[in-house]
Amino acid sequence: MRPRIAVVGSGVGGLTLAAALAASGTRCEVFEQTRSMTEVGAGVQLAPNAARHLRRLGLQDVLRERAVAVEEMRVYGWEGGPIAATPFGAACEKLYGAPYYAVHRADLQGALLRLVGAAPLRLGHRLRTVCQEDADVVLTFADGTTHRADVVVGADGIHSVVRESLVRDSPVFSGLGVFRGLVPVERLPAPAREPLIRMWLGPGRHFVCYPVAGGRLMSFAAIAPLADAGTESWSAAGDPAELVAAFDGWRGLVPDITRAADTVRRWALYDRPELHTWSAGRITVLGDAAHPMLPFMAQGANQAVEDAVELASLLAGARRDEVPELLARYEKARAPRTAAIQRGSRGHSDTMHLPDGPRQRERDAAMHRSAGLTGLRERAWLYGHEAGATTAPVRAPGGPGSSRGRPPPAGQTDGTG
């Protein structure tokens, strides 16, 4: 008997899981607390480790038309001096089987929604509790309704209700906040139209930008200290004047973008402690519910896609009685890798924001040494990983793709997702 699968949350991870299950002929239901599917985010970086899977699921045309295939990532000091450049483009596809994309989150979510279709979606279902009763898992929603399933997958974000059934912990404030926004490229100098990720590093803060929406919009993420933690929310409004002031005196495209941004959103950056138990019985988690990451390796959405593909490969065609064992295998496959990326992302919070001085110069020298094709090959452990229990790892020249995580090399960073 095939298991009844309930997915809680319709973000990138939940929808990718639903799409990957559907591709194998496996049904699921997706429960979402909102009553309409809208997305207010900004840009997302899709590295090859996720882009390969999204293209296989059928998003290649959308990515080609709506995303931007990034040619290079360039890193500068806050005063505009170059630090390092790493090629993506054709080299990325040759080494890792897919481009490095920059995409508007709304375009990505919309494409996944069209792939999944309306039939599995259950909107307006805010989860209150989840508990196991005998061989069933019972979901109870805020309106008093219940649903029984054989498998429950929490894809419900950093404030996951499903995670609370596994462990009691709380989000941890990083001391930083992020301004995010979108600016039409026609408001910016001509270089803004180039298919590049640009990042400027400075004392206590950094700034990342890249084009999305087929090159029509510039997405930016500006990280700066935040005294008041507030809430973690994609929809929290920010003050454009505060953004300008936070990066006063910075060079490159930074002042052009900050002054052109009419509307910004700002919220506090949180993560959680590493989760040592992902699954219990018939319950598991993925994406931010399992491993919320500070955005300093631009891997949050990418790891959610990997989780979804791994889990779908195990559940496809499974029997109901196999579920607990399969969820344990999923945890074993995913937990070491995502924990390493979580730790690496936290470490970048310090190294990316050093004050000018000896340590900053040492960091810049390390980034320079890890630039070019050498740096791209050093990312084999990250970009070459092949999620999915039945597939072999992609291997890059000079270093194998890894099925387990490991810390990033010194100076390696892909900015802010």
Q: Please identify every residue annotated as catalytic.
A: 210
Query: Helix or strand or coil: residue 350?
Result: helix
Largest alpha-carbon pair distance within the chain?
64
372: left (phi over 0), alpha (psi -120 to 50) or beta: left
Burial of 350 from C-beta contacts in 10 A (0-12 / 13-18 / 19+): exposed
- Within 183-261, where are the H helices? 240-246, 254-260
**The Cα angle at residue 16 between residues 14 and 21, in degrees rounded to 5:** 95
Least Cα distance to 23 among 13, 15, 33 occurs for 15
DSSP string, 267-309: EEEEE-PPPS---BTTEEE-GGGT----TTBS-HHHHHHHHHH
Cβ atoms within 10 Å of 231's Cβ, excluding its own: 11
Residue where the block lists tokens 């959103």: 265
Cβ atoms within 10 Å of 312's Cβ, excluding its own: 28
CB 384 within 8 A of CB 395: yes
Angle between helices 12-23 and 300-315 (to 10 degrees): 30
Instruction: Read off φ and ψ for residue 327, nearest 5 degrees.
Output: -70, -35
CB 140 within 8 A of CB 146: yes
Least Cα distance to 9 among 328, 315, 308 occurs for 308
Long-range contact list for 126-129, CB < 8 A, 24+ apart? 126/33, 127/8, 127/31, 127/33, 127/156, 127/161, 127/162, 128/161, 129/161, 129/165
Gap between the Cα atoms of 396 and 8, Å rounded? 35
